[in-house]
């Protein structure tokens, strides 16, 4: 792996750790670009070596911020692409120099037939030459010795021929694999780049004239969704202030700049106002494999109020936010923020008697969600698992800490 490529990976890892990039969309594009460069520019002898290099990079990116699901999702999609393309070309990722077994068998049989034909022709020639020997002072040649020598020469030439054919086959398959992978990665990148436009085009299907919509937090793609609908119809948006980050303040300012009727409300008034809301539309940090979602802290209460009042909840989420993991409780995929977000200790306060818990995210179970609006259209929580089977391989969901694989990587790098 070149030093320039490692430098680009390390730069992205540093940005991930420092959280210098606020957009999931940009994270997805940067991550996919790293793997595209790996396939196009790096030197790899076979698919197995490429896959090990890809997993080494993927681990570095995922470990940098395990709660940044977008990065892990793109990484695992790339793994799936490599596996599927290798499967299509009948390449094994578990063997050294993994070439197609059907092609190798063809070469072996073809070489064996050539060997037999050559041996028969050589033996006929030996017999003819033996009949013409006229020197009586020299004994007749030993036919068995000549056959043995001839066979050794034929086996040596045949081995070299088969070795050259196998090398040509590997080079040809690697070229096919490279072209297929680049094409698939480019399709994935095109899908990521067009996410906003694809989701925005669905705005008129889900927002109707004079709707009263409640939203929470801040999201670029969600604001664009509202903006697209506002170009044709009138509707009203109630924006929760989203404490303790108060990102709702920014959302309210942006929506009002699009000439959308916007009302900023305190989070505590959600239940009281839910009876006059037609639908709840929110964004998400991640769409989980069971149909639930991990999103901004405070969204769970809003979804509970909506369910109590039979108000549908729509969730805006791009395909790169679909995470093939199963949350077991509200703390499985979460992190705690600084207590200073909501509480400040005074000089005379007794610290031992105060415990402040500030979770960064809420987990919302699938039964609270009516519809996911994605770049692949509307998806219900009950059937969204089908999308995950198209994006990810089961072998890559949790298997990210294989010690044997690390040994293979080290061995390859020393060669």
- Give the pLDDT confidence of 174-205 residue by residue, as tens digits: 899 999 999 999 999 999 999 999 999 999 99
Calpha distance 9→54 (Å, rounded): 11
Say whether both 410 and 361 belong to one domain: no
Q: What is the pLDDT of residues 126-137, one digit of tens each?
A: 444 444 444 444
Residue 391 in any domain: the answer is: no
Q: Is pLDDT at 156 greater than 70 in this prediction?
A: no
What are 347's two structure tokens? 């000089």
The predicted-structure confidence for 283-322, as pLDDT tens digits, reads as follows 999 999 999 999 999 999 999 999 999 999 999 999 999 9
Radius of gyration of the chain (CA): 32
From CA 308, how far away is CA 271, in angstroms rounded? 9
* CA diameter of the chain: 124
pLDDT of residue 99 exceeding 60, the answer is no
367 found inside a domain: yes
Residues 180 and 219 in one domain: no
With respect to residue 143, please indicate whether it lies within any of the assigned structural domains: yes
Whether residues 233 and 115 fall in one domain? no
- Residue 408 in this model has a pLDDT that exceeds 90: no
Span of 139-148, 228-237, 242-251 with lowest mean pLDDT: 139-148
**For residue 355, what is the domain's CATH number?**
3.40.50.10470
The token pair that represents 289 in the structure block? 């494999």
Highest mean pLDDT out of 41-45, 80-84, 103-107, 157-161: 80-84
Same domain, yes or no: 101 and 154: yes
Residue 144: its pLDDT value, please? Answer: 61
Does some domain include residue 259? yes
Query: How high is the mean pLDDT of the chain?
Result: 84
Statement to judge: residues 144 and 209 lie in one domain: no
Domain count, the chain: 2
Same domain, 346 and 373: yes
Domain range for 403 is 1-193+396-415
- Asked whether residue 71 carries a pLDDT value surpassing 90, the answer given is yes
Tell whether 411 and 325 lie within a shared domain: no
* 17 plus 46 within the same structural domain: yes
Q: Distances in Å between the alpha carbon of 246 and those of 252, 334, 336, 342?
A: 11, 19, 17, 11
Q: Are strands 261-265 and 377-379 parallel, antiparallel or unpaired?
A: unpaired
Question: For residue 71, what are the CA distances in angstroms to 24, 30, 64?
Answer: 8, 9, 10
Instruction: Please indicate, yes or no, if residue 331 is contained in any of the structural domains.
Output: yes
Q: Is residue 390 part of a domain?
A: no
User: What is the rounded (10 degree) CA torsion for 37, 43, 48, 51?
Assistant: -20
Same domain, 224 and 277: yes
226 and 361 in a common domain: yes
Nearest one of 185, 215, 396 to 306, comparing CA atoms: 215
| In-domain check, residue 165 | yes
Scan for tokens 């509707």, then name that residue: 235
> d(Cα 236, Cα 262) in Å, to the nearest integer?
6
Both 201 and 116 in one domain: the answer is no
Asked if residue 218 and residue 183 are part of one domain, the reply reads: no
pLDDT at 73 over 90: yes
Q: Is residue 316 part of a domain?
A: yes
Contact indicator for 69, 286 with CB cutoff of 8 Å:
yes
């Amino acid at each position: 792996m070149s030093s320039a490529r490692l430098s680009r990976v390390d730069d992205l890892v540093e940005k991930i750790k420092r959280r210098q990039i606020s957009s999931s969309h940009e994270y997805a594009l940067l991550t996919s670009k790293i793997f595209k460069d790996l396939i196009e520019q790096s030197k790899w002898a076979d698919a197995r070596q490429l896959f090990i290099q890809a997993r080494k990079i993927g681990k570095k990116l995922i470990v940098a911020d395990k709660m940044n699901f977008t990065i892990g999702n793109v990484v695992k999609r790339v793994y799936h692409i490599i596996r599927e393309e290798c499967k299509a070309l009948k390449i094994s990722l578990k063997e050294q120099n993994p070439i197609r077994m059907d092609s190798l068998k063809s070469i072996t049989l073809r070489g064996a037939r050539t060997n037999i034909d050559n041996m028969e022709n050589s033996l006929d020639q030996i017999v003819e030459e033996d009949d013409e020997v006229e020197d009586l002072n020299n004994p007749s040649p030993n036919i068995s010795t000549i056959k043995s020598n001839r066979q050794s020469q034929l086996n040596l030439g045949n081995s070299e021929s088969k070795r050259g054919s196998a090398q040509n086959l590997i080079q040809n398959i690697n070229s096919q694999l490279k072209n297929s992978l680049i094409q698939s990665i480019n399709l994935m990148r095109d899908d990521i780049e067009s996410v906003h436009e694809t989701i925005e085009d669905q705005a008129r299907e889900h927002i109707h004239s004079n709707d009263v919509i409640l939203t929470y937090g801040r999201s670029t793609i969600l604001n664009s969704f509202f903006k697209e609908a506002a170009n044709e119809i009138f509707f009203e948006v109630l924006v929760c202030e989203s404490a303790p980050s108060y990102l709702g303040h920014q959302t309210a300012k942006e929506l009002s700049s699009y000439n959308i009727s916007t009302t900023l409300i305190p989070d505590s008034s959600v239940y009281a106002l839910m009876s006059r809301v037609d639908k709840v539309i929110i964004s998400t940090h991640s769409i989980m494999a069971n149909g639930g979602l991990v999103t901004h802290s405070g969204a769970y209460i809003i979804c509970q109020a909506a369910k109590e009042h039979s108000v549908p909840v729509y969730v805006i989420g791009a395909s790169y936010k679909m995470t093939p993991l199963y949350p077991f409780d509200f703390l499985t995929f979460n992190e705690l923020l600084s207590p200073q977000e909501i509480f400040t200790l005074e000089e005379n306060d007794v610290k031992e008697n105060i415990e402040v818990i500030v979770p960064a995210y809420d987990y919302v179970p699938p039964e609270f969600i009516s519809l996911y609006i994605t770049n692949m259209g509307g998806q219900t929580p009950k059937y969204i698992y089908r999308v995950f089977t198209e994006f990810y391989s089961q072998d890559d969901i949790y298997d990210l800490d294989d010690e044997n694989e690390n040994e293979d990587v080290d061995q390859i790098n020393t060669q």
